[in-house]
Chain A
Amino acid sequence: MSVLVVAEHDNKNLKSSTLNTISAAEKLSEDIHLLILGNKIEDLAKSSKSIQLVKKVIICDHEKLENQIPELSSPIISNLAENYSHILAPSSTFGKNLLPRVSAQLDVTQISDIISIESQDTFIRPIYAGNAISYVQTDQKINLMTVRPTSFEKCEETGGDATLENITFIDSEVKTTFVSREVSKSDRPELGNARVVVSGGRGLENSDNFKLLYDLADKLNAAVGASRAAVDSGYIGNEYQVGQTGKMVAPELYIAVGISGAIQHLAGMKESKVIVAINKDLEAPIFNIADYGLSSDLFQAIPEIIKELDLLNQIES
């Protein structure tokens, strides 16, 4: 049977989470279809055709789909469902907002945030903030799943030659209107996708001090993250939060600065390859999972690290 992947995008480009989700779909079928619901997405559809693993790109292009209102997009997905054994979306806020509505419309139970596909009907997902791992099996007529992007590689964006199908927009009566989106602009890599993440916690003490972290992040070409405590205290925006109720990250290198390491934070970063913790408090639980711990005042340590990195760069160049 074929597998449908619902694309996350901004009407111009696919989000990398979509590429991770396509890789997950490859474990289920060779016949992967990519569904793009959006506004003025002709160019996006064209570029998506070259994704190697995708056999068919299905688009629904309508001005009402501009802002991804799930009440409008979910019935379109449900209408296509009978052709598929599995429907996958990334477990980003986009997928979380959308796919459960399809679950209601199809009367099947969705499996959230899978981290591994064992077979056509058996999947692995974390529960309790990743403090337990659950193996689940289902024999439903269709499997609806959100996929944790960091658990699957990104697929190749080139080399493919998918067919393109346009489907007609079905209107639904919707009472919600889009007002605005407050998106922080940054030249740094995307948090969910960066090779290096530098995260700050309450130890930073205020938003001005976060500039220290930005400097370090720029030296390492890293994304910036934060603990919930730092976001709650208003040091930095919610889109930077790493943890159970924020983003899941799994970079090559995660540097936790002034973060104590509550289990809710660890849930979002403990799959990182190398973890560095910098904290004054030797008792901080973050040290229990860090590969390299430095018990030090971060306001001294961070400028020193930047200096050391500059020295290294000089030696190399």
Chain B
Amino acid sequence: MKVLVAVKRVVDYKVQIRVKSDNSGVETQNVKMSVNPPDENAIEEAVKLKEQGLADEIISVSIGDDKSQDVLRTSMAMGIDRSILVKSQNTLEPLAVAKTLKIIIDKEKPDLVLMGKQAIDDDSNQTGQILSALLNWPQGCFISNLKIENNKVFISREIDEGIENLETSLPAVLTCDLRLNTPRFASLPNIMKAKKKPLETIDIDTLGIDTSSKIKTLKVIEPPKRKAGIMVNDVKELVQKLKYEAKVI
């Protein structure tokens, strides 16, 4: 089995983001960037499938500028065999991302595609679902458990009501929840080894797809700030405040 993992480079989840002063977007220059957290779970799951002998080749793909090589090297340090960077100067919308991934998938012919359930920058939560529809492959979203046996795929999905268990088959597109596994840290020797693993670069303009933006961002602003509240001294004061000042109990 061959597994393809889609990886996005995003502002690190610990960074307090800043809106640009001209309100054109969020500052990403000179900010710590990392692998999108649930994409790390996708990488980890692929590496586990290889360790279990279920996958024989695991590859990662990212779309972005040259700097996205970082996240692909990280994925290879975690155990991915080789990577593909689709070079694009522009930020792509989920539909364009999925179309780009589909072209790579048509060429690479993986049996399983894994990715995070959402990117923590744009928070769209769309790409896996779109890709599944474009490929006409089964879709499994927000998974927190995966078992593959005799070409059968058993998944548990995290839904608002609890957990949903589904059975499906390969090939499939699965999007990963943070609870699917615990991503490993790349060891220093593995980081060194990853530098020698193959990283292919493809220019997005050579793919012949429309990647133009359909959505125009008019402005990006900071959310309204909450006013700082007060500290109460004890439980009695708290309950009194809630009852007679805030009037919420």
Contacts and interface: CB of A to CB of B under 8 A. Distances in A.
Interface stretch (B48-56, B68-76, B136-144, B193-201): B136-144
Nearest to B245: A292
A103 to B, nearest CB: 6
A179 B121 CA distance: 33
A288 B16 CA distance: 14
A93 B220 CA distance: 26
Contact of B246 (A130, A178, A270, A274): A274
Interface of B: 11, 13, 16-17, 19, 26, 38, 93-95, 98, 117-118, 120-134, 138-142, 144, 154, 157-169, 177-179, 213-223, 226-232, 234-236, 238-239, 241-243, 246, 248-249
Contacts of A228: 178
Contacts of B132: 71, 101
B11 A128 contact: yes
Contacts of B213: 109
A11 to B, nearest CB: 13
Contacts of B167: 176-177, 179
Interface of A: 70-71, 74, 92-94, 96-101, 103-105, 107-113, 122, 126-138, 140, 174-184, 192, 196, 220, 228, 231-232, 237-239, 244-245, 247, 252-253, 263-264, 270, 273-276, 287-296, 301, 304-305, 308-309, 312
A290 B161 CA distance: 28
Given A137-B215, A177-B166, A220-B249, A132 B223 contact: yes
Nearest to A102: B133
Nearest to A266: B226
Contacts, number: 250
A128 B141 contact: no
Q: Which 10 A-B pairs have CB atoms at the shortest separation, nearest pair first?
A: A104-B133, A100-B129, A291-B229, A100-B126, A109-B214, A179-B165, A304-B235, A101-B133, A308-B239, A176-B168
19 contacts: A97-B142, A100-B128, A108-B95, A132-B223, A134-B217, A135-B220, A136-B217, A175-B138, A176-B138, A181-B163, A196-B248, A245-B118, A253-B246, A264-B120, A274-B242, A289-B226, A293-B231, A294-B238, A312-B249
Summarize B's interface: helix, strand, loop or mixed. Answer: mixed
Given A96-B141, A127-B121, A292-B241, A180 B214 contact: no
Contacts of A133: 220-223
B223 to A, nearest CB: 5
Given A132-B220, A245-B177, A292-B232, A180 B165 contact: yes
Given A101-B133, A132-B223, A244-B123, A184 B239 contact: no
A12 to B, nearest CB: 14
Nearest to A240: B162
A148 B126 CA distance: 15
Given A245-B118, A305-B235, A177 B168 contact: yes
A253 B158 CA distance: 26
B160 A104 contact: no
A110 B177 contact: no
A283 B217 CA distance: 37
A183 B158 CA distance: 11
Contact of A104 (B125, B134, B217, B248): B134
A224 to B, nearest CB: 14
Contacts of A135: 217-221
Contacts of B165: 179-182
B134 A239 contact: no
Contacts of A274: 242, 246, 248
A132 B220 CA distance: 6
B96 to A, nearest CB: 8
A239 B123 contact: no
A87 B215 CA distance: 16
B248 A105 contact: no
A140 B215 CA distance: 8
Nearest to A316: B243
Nearest to A174: B138
Given A100-B133, A228-B178, A294-B235, A264 B162 contact: no
Nearest to A247: B160
Contacts of A196: 248-249
A239 B144 CA distance: 12
Given A128-B11, A129-B123, A181 B220 contact: no
A131 B223 contact: yes
A128 B120 contact: yes
A140 B210 CA distance: 14
